[in-house]
Amino acid sequence: MSMKYYPKGWHTYKFLVTPQELKDILRGFHIVIYNRRVPVDYIESNFANFVRDYESFYRLLTSGEKIEHIVIDNLLTGFSNNLSKCAYKVPFQDSNDGLWYKTEDFIEPCVGFNLFAFYLDEEHKLQTKFSYINFPENIMGVQLEYPKKIYSIEENREILCNELENYNDVYQVVVERIKQLCKNLTITIGENVHRTKVKISPTALKDIEGSHFIKVNNCIIK
């Protein structure tokens, strides 16, 4: 079975909250793997395990240690409110380990969960859209991802995100929950004041005061 759609452009929403706050923000949603193969009997991921993985990430981020390498496969996942739209392809057997796996064939995109990093250029301008893979030491939080529109193979047309269930009932709901809890992060580096669109909760703001990026660049945050 071939892929049902192709994404075109992306909405992203950057934020940082505590593990307990994330648990509350994502309440009621299913966690599903969509970007790598899964065991043949996989249905959805354990919510408590996901929160535990985020807690480990959050602890490292706020510890002040320089992040030189991070394995976060368990955080690179998706969210949906409807498992019936999270189907998987016909199982296949791996020729190396002999085990059976399957890959996603979702009816529509789920909401993606990813990391983001800051970058301070030579002119001391703060960039917020750099890959954490290239700058793991500058990781400053997580982000939601959802296509702005998709091209449907079956319907042979473009579909805007507001026509999709996971955008209206998951992405938008999570964004509103974050907005109620958080405010925009402002970072002052030297004489430069950077008013970012990154959302941060009051508790997380205090927790990241000692993080590596903030300390190394002598940042003042509020």
Is residue 134 assigned to a domain? yes
Q: What are phi and psi of 24, to 5 degrees?
A: -70, -40
Asked if residue 189 is part of any domain, the answer here is no
Please check whether residue 46 lies inside any domain of the structure.
yes
Retrieve residue 168's tokens.
Answer: 């209206």
Residue range(s) defining the domain that contains residue 110 = 5-178
> How far are the Cα atoms of 140, 190, 191 from residue 218, in angstroms, in the given order?
15, 8, 11
In this structure, is residue 108 part of a structural domain? yes
**50 falls within a domain:** yes
The token pair that represents 151 in the structure block: 């091209």
The count of domains in the chain is: 1
The one-digit pLDDT tens for each residue of the chain (222 residues) are: 346 898 999 999 999 999 999 999 999 999 999 989 999 999 999 999 999 999 999 999 999 988 877 667 788 999 999 999 999 999 999 999 999 999 999 999 999 999 999 988 877 788 887 778 878 889 999 999 999 999 998 889 999 999 999 999 999 999 999 999 999 999 999 888 999 999 999 999 999 999 999 999 999 999
Residue 33 backbone phi and psi in degrees, to 5: -90, 130
Residue 157 lies in a domain: yes
The whole-angstrom distance between residue 221's C-alpha and the CA centroid of its chain comes to 22
Q: Is residue 10 part of a domain?
A: yes
Do residues 3 and 106 make contact, with C-beta atoms less than 8 angstroms apart? no
DSSP 8-state symbol, 88: B
Report the predicted TM-score, pTM, of the whole model to 2 decimal places.
0.92
Residue 141 bridge partners (DSSP)? 116
Strands 126-130 and 100-102, by their bridges, are unpaired
- With the C-alpha atoms ordered 69, 130, 182, 186, is the resulting torsion angle positive or negative? positive
Establish if 131 belongs to a structural domain.
yes
Q: Is the dihedral of CA 171, 134, 118, 208 positive or negative?
A: positive
| 113: CB partners within 8 A, 6+ apart | 75, 76, 77, 78, 79, 142, 143, 144, 145
